[in-house]
């Protein structure tokens, strides 16, 4: 069944829908497995249809009032991005969070619980495999309560988006405010703090950061502003394409990053300083893994999200110049969640 639309100008849905009407069959998002193979993907039209299916499922099974806060708790993959846009179409406010895993489970669950309580979340969207994994980890660690009492997340309505019926239609509901989503800080040095990001924040920041038709490659966490906004939202708003994969796969097989850039002729990618230093370690990225790599398609390779080390920049350029990396494509960017993404880039914008 065809997706129907209600007018929603002035939101991030407008440019996404315009691109879908111009080239519905163009690839929007793809996600790669640990071998670099295509695991899942959406065209522009297919992505809008999937977001309609999730929106209709949530509205039918767990109705939420306009403006309600909803956690997005997903492992790496495209379903979280679909759920994000489904929330926008529902008129509710998504809150991306780090999904607690087996390692560091108690601390991550505390952070999730804190964010849920702080924003007054009414529900949580997730996928089926992670939903049961969360239950198992909680049972194994026997976490019955946190320091402030019963887990707030226990009271949330947990909604498995994989149960959404295929092929349904959805009429968008305008959000009651200009807020697009809540972006929380990492909480590494203090309790997480929420930032209200508006549609106009993202639209204006995108216009100042992306100046070409982008093809992106990203392993960055999707709950983080650089990963979510810079690698996924911006690409859709500009009519581009993103190839993503898991941060764990990058740490275990860093050559996947460069292989994907080379294979898909990426024009843009970004990572914090530690990733560039990581790629300089020969035991992590041996020379034989670089055979056939071509980085000449890159127009933007950002070093951002933490202090940028000049020595790392210089050594990275030296090592990868023989593989087509141009010095003018490599630059530092100063980020700030409250902006909501990039404050300055290329040293001139």
pLDDT in tens, 41-99: 999 999 999 999 999 999 999 999 999 999 999 999 999 999 999 999 999 999 999 88
CB-based burial of residue 331 (10 Å sphere; 0-12 exposed, 13-18 middle, 19+ buried)?
Answer: middle
Dihedral sign of CA atoms 236, 13, 184, 138 in order: negative
- pLDDT at residue number 149: 42
Q: Is the pLDDT reported for residue 192 higher than 90? A: no
What is the CA 167 to chain-centroid distance, rounded?
25
Q: Is the pLDDT reported for residue 166 higher than 60? A: yes
Calpha distance 234→29 (Å, rounded) = 12
Read off the DSSP letter of residue 307: P
Helix (H) or strand (E) holding 270: strand 268-271
Residue of 329, 316, 328 lying closest to 290 (CA atoms): 316
Name which residue leads in pLDDT, 18 or 133: 18
3-state secondary structure at position 38: strand
- pLDDT at residue number 142: 56
Q: Which two tokens stand for residue 46?
A: 């297919």
The residues, ordered by sequence, that sit 6+ positions from 40 with a Cβ below 8 Å of its Cβ are 30, 31, 77, 78
Read off the DSSP letter of residue 308: P
Q: Name the least confident of 10-14, 168-172, 344-348.
A: 344-348
3-state secondary structure at position 124: strand
3-state secondary structure at position 265: coil
Share of the chain above pLDDT 70, in %: 88
Phi, psi of 258 (to 5 degrees): -70, -35
Count of CA atoms in the C-beta half-sphere (13 A) of 61: 18
What is the CA 273 to chain-centroid distance, rounded?
19
- pLDDT at residue number 148: 39
Q: Is the pLDDT reported for residue 258 higher than 70? A: yes
pTM attached to this predicted model: 0.90
Name which residue leads in pLDDT, 211 or 19: 19
Both ends of the chain: CA-CA distance in Å?
A: 44
- pLDDT at residue number 16: 96
- pLDDT at residue number 151: 73
Q: Is the pLDDT reported for residue 206 higher than 80? A: yes
Name which residue leads in pLDDT, 174 or 68: 68
Dihedral sign of CA atoms 112, 115, 117, 121 in order: negative
Calpha distance 234→237 (Å, rounded) = 5
Calpha distance 218→247 (Å, rounded) = 9
């Amino acid at each position: 069944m065809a997706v129907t639309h209600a007018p929603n100008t002035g939101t991030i849905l407008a440019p996404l829908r315009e691109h879908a009407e111009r080239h519905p069959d163009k690839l929007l998002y793809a996600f790669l497995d640990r071998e670099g193979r295509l695991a899942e993907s959406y065209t522009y039209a297919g992505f809008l249809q999937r977001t309609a299916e999730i929106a209709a499922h949530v509205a039918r099974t767990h109705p939420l009032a306009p403006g309600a806060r909803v956690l997005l708790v997903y492992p790496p993959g495209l379903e979280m991005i679909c759920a994000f846009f489904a929330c926008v179409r529902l008129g509710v406010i998504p809150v991306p969070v780090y999904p607690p895993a087996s390692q560091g489970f108690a601390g991550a669950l505390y952070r999730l619980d804190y964010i849920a309580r702080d924003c007054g979340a009414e529900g949580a969207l997730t996928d089926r495999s992670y939903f049961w994994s969360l239950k198992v980890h909680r049972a194994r660690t026997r976490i019955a309560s946190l320091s402030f009492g019963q887990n707030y997340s226990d009271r949330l309505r947990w909604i498995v988006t994989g149960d959404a019926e295929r092929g349904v239609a959805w009429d968008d509901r305008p959000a009651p405010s200009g807020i697009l989503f809540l972006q929380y800080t990492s909480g590494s040095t203090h309790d997480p703090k929420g930032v209200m990001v508006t549609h106009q924040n993202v639209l204006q920041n995108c216009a100042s950061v992306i100046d070409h038709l982008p093809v992106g490659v990203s392993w960055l966490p999707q709950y983080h502003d650089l990963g979510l906004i810079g690698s996924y939202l911006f690409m859709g708003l500009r009519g581009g394409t993103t190839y993503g994969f898991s941060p764990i796969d990058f740490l275990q097989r860093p050559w996947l990053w460069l292989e994907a850039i080379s294979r898909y002729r990426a024009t843009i990618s970004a990572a914090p300083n530690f990733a560039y230093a990581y790629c300089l370690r020969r035991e992590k990225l041996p020379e034989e893994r670089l055979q056939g790599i071509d980085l000449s398609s890159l127009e933007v390779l950002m070093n951002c999200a933490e202090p940028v080390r000049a020595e790392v920049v210089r050594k990275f350029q030296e090592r990868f110049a023989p593989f087509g990396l141009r010095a003018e494509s490599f630059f530092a960017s100063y980020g700030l969640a409250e902006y909501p993404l990039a404050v300055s880039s290329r040293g001139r914008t």
